[in-house]
Amino acid sequence: MQIALQIAWRGNAEYEHVHDLVPWIDLPESRNPFAVPVSDALWQHCPTQLRVIKTHLRFGKIEYNDAGKYVWVVRDPKDVFVSSYHFVQTLLFGPLMPSLEEWLEIFLSEDSFYGSWAEHLHSGWQARERDNVLFLTFEEMKRDRTGSIDRIAGLMNVELASVERDQVIRQSSFEYMKAIGEKFDSTGLSPPWAQSHGTMVRRGRVGGSDELLSQDQQRRIDAYWRDELHRLGSDFPYDDHYG
């Protein structure tokens, strides 16, 4: 989201909160008090005349438009699990947070709190050959952030000047985003006990799931989502990326 936004604004996007500029379509506007509505015309002040929209919805749930550009990002489900555990404990459940093992049982079930990781991946993977879709893994974005920025700018048909590109690279680093972490918080959606200040940008690591998970638990996650992808008929090479 930060990369696409800074590309659209040629490295000069400024905001008190990122959702002052970026609509978030997953929630009805009445339940999303901090995000600019998708009908807002603020994007017309953007130098590229492009609007960046955030969503976690599966591809088939999005109102598709041939003129739109879609950046589809997936992440190792083991790291997703750890991130979700910290996120939900800090921002939602607090002292009511289920145990780690209970949260794992939920994650590896049809009742997964954020929906099926495999269905989300598969829906974007199926669309990856479309000219207006860029399928990326979080891991390759961390490994080659500059190359990923160039690919996203290419998808958006934005040719950045050298100084603009440098600005986007700098402002999409973990260190930069961590320093302004409160600008990414889910303000207004958390209960009173939530510790929401700057918690959306936590560690930004690849392969750090062993901070919470045993090797057996990691293998359980791999086995479950590998089987789910197989059930969906997906040919995404799970073991090449995450096994």
CATH class assigned to 2-241: alpha beta
Q: Which two tokens stand for residue 134?
A: 């860029």
Give the separation between CA 201 and CA 48, rounded to whole angstroms. Answer: 27
pLDDT level of residue 114 (50, 70, 90 thresholds): confident
Give the separation between CA 79 and CA 27, rounded to whole angstroms. Answer: 25
For β-strands 70-74 and 133-137, DSSP reports them as: parallel
Taking only the tens place, the pLDDT of each residue in 19-62 is: 999 998 887 777 667 788 888 887 788 999 999 999 999 998 99
Instruction: Give the DSSP H/E element, type plus range, for residue 117.
Output: helix 117-126
Q: What is the pLDDT of residue 117?
A: 96
Domain boundaries, the chain: 2-241
pLDDT, the chain, mean: 89
Closest alpha carbon to 228 in 212, 242, 216:
242
Give the separation between CA 223 and CA 225, rounded to whole angstroms. Answer: 6
Give the separation between CA 90 and CA 193, rounded to whole angstroms. Answer: 9
Residue 34: which residues within 8 A CB-CB, separation 6 or more?
17, 19, 186, 187, 188, 189
Q: What are the respective helix, strand and coil percentages of the chain, to the nearest 5?
A: 50, 5, 45
Q: Does residue 169 contact residue 145 with C-beta atoms inside 8 Å?
A: yes
Give the active site residues.
56
Could you give the percent of the chain with pLDDT greater than 70? 91
More confident call, 68 vs 95: 68
Q: What is the pLDDT of residue 202?
A: 60
Taking only the tens place, the pLDDT of each residue in 189-227 is: 555 655 655 566 666 667 778 889 999 999 999 999 999
